[in-house]
Every structure is written in structure tokens, then in C-alpha cells.
């Protein structure tokens, strides 16, 4: 049953990532770094942090598989982040790559902590 939960959550998360990514890519098409994946990964980290903070939901294996593993696993994307970082490197845009990698990591971790803290404190 958890395989189905991960599949459904992953499909929904991937579709939302794709649609949000398209929208953000158009809005930030002239940005010097790939803003859309930074935003998607930060939002996904925030959501996962908030979800983990809700112990009653996070402790149910079916709900955890659907939301934490499936949805947020499909919504966030380390692979696209890696491709975009390598693209910046191969174009010799080293400062852009450092900014992109730094912002991606710091914002993702920071937003996870923020999402968690809001619900734990709230």
C-alpha cells in the first residue's frame, strides 16, 4: 500500500513542481541564476519541515509515504539543482554557480527549519 502512496504523492508533487517551475522560469527569465528551482526547493523544504512537525500525521506510515516521500520527494529536485549548477560551471560562470549553490542549500535548510519551527512553536 505504501508503494501506491509514494506513487500518487510523487505524481502530484512532480506535476506541481513542473507547473510552478514553468511559471517561475517565465517570471525570472532574465535572472543570473536559476531562481525557479531555488524557490521550488525552498518551498518544498518549508512544507516538509511543517509536515514533520505535525507528529500525528508524520507518524502514520501511509500518510508519511504519501506526503513526505512521495509529494515532497517529487516536488523538490536535487537532480535539476545539480544539472543547473554544472551548467553554470561549464559556462565558466563561477560566481553565479557559487551564489546558486549557496542560496539553494542555505534557503532549503533554512526554510525546512522555519516550517518546522512555526508549527512546533505555533
Binding residues for Na(+): 73, 76
Query: Contact 72/48 with Cβ under 8 angstroms?
Result: yes
Q: Where do runs of H (alpha helix) occur along the chain? A: 2-27, 35-53, 55-58, 61-64, 72-75, 78-90, 94-121
Q: Three-class SS of residue 59?
A: coil
Q: How far apart are CA 35 and CA 55, in angstroms?
A: 32
Rounded to 5°, angle at Cα 98 from 95 and 103:
125
Cell of 115: 516550517
Binding-site residue ranges: 73, 76
Query: Contact 79/19 with Cβ under 8 angstroms?
Result: no
Amino acid at each position: 500500500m505504501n508503494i501506491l502512496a509514494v506513487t500518487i504523492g510523487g505524481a502530484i508533487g512532480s506535476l506541481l513542481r513542473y507547473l510552478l517551475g514553468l511559471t517561475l522560469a517565465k517570471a525570472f527569465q532574465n535572472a543570473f541564476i536559476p531562481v525557479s528551482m531555488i524557490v521550488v526547493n525552498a518551498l518544498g523544504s518549508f512544507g516538509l519541515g511543517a509536515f514533520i512537525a505535525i507528529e500525528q500525521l508524520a507518524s502514520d506510515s501511509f500518510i508519511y509515504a504519501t506526503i513526505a516521500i512521495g509529494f515532497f520527494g517529487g516536488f523538490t529536485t536535487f537532480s535539476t539543482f545539480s544539472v543547473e549548477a554544472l551548467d553554470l560551471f561549464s559556462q565558466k560562470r563561477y560566481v553565479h554557480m557559487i551564489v546558486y549553490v549557496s542560496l539553494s542549500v542555505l534557503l532549503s535548510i533554512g526554510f525546512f527549519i522555519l516550517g518546522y519551527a512555526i508549527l512546533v512553536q505555533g
